[in-house]
Structure 1
Amino acid sequence: MLRPVSFVQPARIEYGSGKARALGDLIAGWSDRRVLVVADAFNAGRTDLLGLPAQTHVFSRVKPEPDLPNLDELLDEARAFAPDLVIGFGGGSAMDLAKLAAVLATSSKGLRDIVGVGKADPRSIGLIAIPTTAGTGSEVGARALVTDPSSQSKMAVESRHMVADLAVVDPDLTVSLPPAVTAATGVDALAHCAEAFTSRRAHPLIDIYAQKGIALVGQYLARAVADGSDVEARAGLAMAALYGGFCLGPVNTTAGHALSYPLGTRYGVPHGLANAVIFPHTLAFNASAQTAKTATVAELMGFDGTKLFDSAHRYCLDLGIEMRMSKLGVPADDLPSMAEEAHGIRRLLDFNPREIASEDILAIYRAAY
């Protein structure tokens, strides 16, 4: 409790049904704004939900695992359009690229210049984050991740200047998510909360959000997967993802995310799905180092604490998640190289509650294969 912690969040968070349609009531001078919307192809097709002003340009080519060329495309269009406001509209990938566009479009720096913590210049462009999934919590975060194709690894940027001025969390936007995406992104939100809760950097200020997020996933994820029109379940998951986002800035994730990254960067496995495949394995691996907190996670989720791995794994299977890496396009002969890559992600693994060697990671990959 005495350890200092930094908790930087958007100046304004709007949560609730219909909030996305009310942007014009939330932003001063809305009709005169030059707005750049950053979205994937699906969400680009429903920007009419936002009631955008006349001077709007939509970048519609956000990739599921955005890389440097994808960011460069966006920056070219952003500089040509010269927006005064950028909106990230979609999942974590869209919101991450929007953050980077807001700080880089008018800067002399490139992405490589700002990799790390606190290296981005102050921005003159407004930034709004509107999630359309209930998973990443990126709408309230200060980080963005982009894949470097040359190294097949994620480059992480963290800056208070990438925190949105306004985060709009509207559960209505998630109703259209198919069951598979609902399930995977929901487990991603769960992983954010559980990993932060059991991290070596865990803090009482953040634990309260982590526990509430876990409880909400346990209460609502299966319901939302079974019935996507269950608006109460959708609202609960949107709130869980928001709480997970609160956990990421001050504490962040640990081994679960480190081990999931190579699945996305090398083989294009969606972020939420990659985390779901790994989640039961790292939860069980870390249990001996965080006995009491892991027992709390199990209780909040309804897992059998005496058979933790089996119970967590069955939970994910029952959501319809494919839990075998071999079925996700990952070749068996690359597992050792993936393990070495994951072991090198020290910004996450240094705070894992239990020391994890590359041999341990390889064993987890093989068990998940």
Structure 2
Amino acid sequence: MTAYALPLRLYQPRRFDYGSGSAAQVGDWARAQGFTHILVLTQKVMLPLLDRLALPGQITVFDGVAPEPDTINLDLALTAAQAAQPDLVIGFGGGSVMDVAKLVTVLRGHQTLPQIIGPNKVTHRQNALALVPTTAGTGSEAGIRALVTDAATLNKMAVETPHMIADMVALDPDLTLTVPPAVTAATGIDAMAHCVEAFTNRRAHPLIDNYARIGFNLVARYLPRAVADGADAEARAALLLAAYYGGICLGPVNTAAGHALAYPLGTRLKLPHGLANAVIFPHVLAFNQSVAGEKTAEIAHALGLQGDLLQAASQWCADLGVEMRLSKLGAKDSDLQAWAQEAHAIRRLMDNNPRDMTLAEVEQIYRAAF
């Protein structure tokens, strides 16, 4: 079977609005659909921008979504949903906010979180779902997965179901103009990592490769501009689109070792997801070079990398202001072995990697990043 004949199933949001001011389309759409009870899940920092959605009807706001939400935080959001009884849930924020919004829509019925962990275990959802990203990173608005941390074990748990695809998505670059440079850099590298890991994946598909190419080329061209000038409207718009393309890549292909190694840095070290991926990205890119040479060369060309790939990719990230040393981000040498064991056990991602990675090699990458 040729690559072009490989089976593929792709889900995308039912409505997609893009461009400056498009956040207001959420309110227009909600009004036209007749929604009267709306729950907005967000964070306190986003409250000043909430009126951009121009929402109708009775609005309840839960602004307590944590940056790396765990099951306790999810329960608080579910309690708010139980009280509000919404016919529309809106995730207004970054990837954590959107993931919680997705999970709330499918956990208001008869199923519990343990019953739906994994792929295709959700039977239905209770309400409509709209997603409005305010950072250009996770691409969660495009996909059918949501992640939450188990508060007891600190392991990331993934739910995958087409029931979590959004009814409406609005990509409004105006909402991202005030994102700080450090967050812009880390989330942008996360978006690129989604594209790169799908592009070099064992499950790579020609159709998804095209989305991935567009995505990492947009990040390569526009992320340095957005970091240098947050008011660069063209760069902000381009990065939102890149993140969306990365989200499309996640659905049928998903990420690989890079994200597996990043997860313990988020749950154990409490690094923001984008920063964790940024620190790991150059190491896994270089590790996979020997088995994905042609595609890696294409990525390196897009980023303008020359010479030693690990050094050049690390410098590209550092030039954006990202601290690339785990030792400077709070990690201890004694942490690394346990993190390596945890990352190596995330087989749903590690098995996608184009090159097999032993436990010793995972620890070696952590030590190189230390």
Normalised-by-shorter TM-score class: over 0.9
Match in the other structure for 2:196:
194
Q: How high is the TM-score relative to the length of structure 1?
A: 0.98
| 1:72-125 Cα distance to aligned partner (Å, 9 max, x none) | 0010110111000000000000000000011111x1111111000011121130
Match in the other structure for 1:350:
351
Match in the other structure for 1:366:
367
Match in the other structure for 2:30:
27
Match in the other structure for 2:228:
226
Kindly indicate whether the alpha-carbon contact (under 8 Å) linking 1:44 and 1:58 is maintained by their aligned counterparts in 2.
no
Q: Which amino acid aligns with 1:330?
A: A
Match in the other structure for 1:333:
334
Match in the other structure for 1:109:
111
- Secondary structure (helix, strand or coil) at the match of 2:92 reads strand
Higher mean displacement: 18-27 or 354-363: 18-27
Kindly indicate whether the alpha-carbon contact (under 8 Å) linking 1:335 and 1:366 is maintained by their aligned counterparts in 2.
yes
- Secondary structure (helix, strand or coil) at the match of 1:314 reads helix
Confirm whether residue 319 of structure 1 aligns to residue 320 of structure 2: yes
Residue 366 of structure 1: CA displacement? 0.5
| Alpha-carbon distance in 2 for matches of 1:245, 1:203 | 15
Kindly indicate whether the alpha-carbon contact (under 8 Å) linking 2:185 and 2:321 is maintained by their aligned counterparts in 1.
yes
Kindly indicate whether the alpha-carbon contact (under 8 Å) linking 2:31 and 2:56 is maintained by their aligned counterparts in 1.
no
Match in the other structure for 2:163:
161
| 1:166-214 Cα distance to aligned partner (Å, 9 max, x none) | 1111111110100000000000000000000000000001000000101
Higher mean displacement: 172-181 or 42-51: 42-51
| 1:278-312 Cα distance to aligned partner (Å, 9 max, x none) | 000000001101000000111111111x3111111
| Alpha-carbon distance in 1 for matches of 2:326, 2:38 | 40
| Alpha-carbon distance in 2 for matches of 1:44, 1:122 | 30
- Secondary structure (helix, strand or coil) at the match of 2:157 reads strand
Match in the other structure for 1:255:
257
Match in the other structure for 2:50:
47
| Equivalent position to 2:19, from 11, 16, 21 | 16
Kindly indicate whether the alpha-carbon contact (under 8 Å) linking 1:24 and 1:31 is maintained by their aligned counterparts in 2.
no
- Secondary structure (helix, strand or coil) at the match of 1:19 reads coil
Match in the other structure for 1:176:
178
Q: Which amino acid aligns with 1:343?
A: H
Confirm whether residue 287 of structure 1 aligns to residue 279 of structure 2: no
Q: Which amino acid aligns with 2:359?
A: S
Q: How does 1:91-130 map to 2 (within 5 A)?
A: 91-105=94-108, 107-130=109-132
Kindly indicate whether the alpha-carbon contact (under 8 Å) linking 2:28 and 2:54 is maintained by their aligned counterparts in 1.
no
Residue 25 of structure 1: CA displacement? 2.3
Residue 46 of structure 1: CA displacement? 2.3
- Secondary structure (helix, strand or coil) at the match of 2:17 reads strand
- Secondary structure (helix, strand or coil) at the match of 1:267 reads coil
- Secondary structure (helix, strand or coil) at the match of 2:40 reads strand
| Equivalent position to 1:58, from 57, 61, 68 | 61
Higher mean displacement: 117-126 or 336-345: 117-126
Q: How high is the TM-score relative to the length of structure 2?
A: 0.97
Q: Which amino acid aligns with 2:303?
A: M
- Secondary structure (helix, strand or coil) at the match of 1:6 reads coil
Confirm whether residue 81 of structure 1 aligns to residue 60 of structure 2: no
| Alpha-carbon distance in 2 for matches of 1:157, 1:22 | 28
Higher mean displacement: 91-100 or 119-128: 119-128
Q: How does 1:119-158 map to 2 (within 5 A)?
A: 119-158=121-160
Match in the other structure for 2:40:
37
| Alpha-carbon distance in 2 for matches of 1:23, 1:349 | 37
- Secondary structure (helix, strand or coil) at the match of 1:191 reads helix
Q: CA RMSD in A?
A: 1.1
| Alpha-carbon distance in 1 for matches of 2:205, 2:130 | 28
- Secondary structure (helix, strand or coil) at the match of 1:27 reads helix
The runs of 5 or more residues in structure 2 that have no matched partner are none
Kindly indicate whether the alpha-carbon contact (under 8 Å) linking 2:88 and 2:127 is maintained by their aligned counterparts in 1.
yes
Match in the other structure for 1:265:
267
The runs of 5 or more residues in structure 1 that have no matched partner are none
| Alpha-carbon distance in 2 for matches of 1:310, 1:351 | 25
Residue 31 of structure 1: CA displacement? 6.9
Match in the other structure for 2:74:
71
Kindly indicate whether the alpha-carbon contact (under 8 Å) linking 2:13 and 2:169 is maintained by their aligned counterparts in 1.
yes
Residue 28 of structure 1: CA displacement? 4.2
Matched length: 367
| Alpha-carbon distance in 1 for matches of 2:261, 2:129 | 31
Kindly indicate whether the alpha-carbon contact (under 8 Å) linking 1:32 and 1:55 is maintained by their aligned counterparts in 2.
no
Residue 268 of structure 1: CA displacement? 1.0
| Alpha-carbon distance in 1 for matches of 2:67, 2:57 | 28
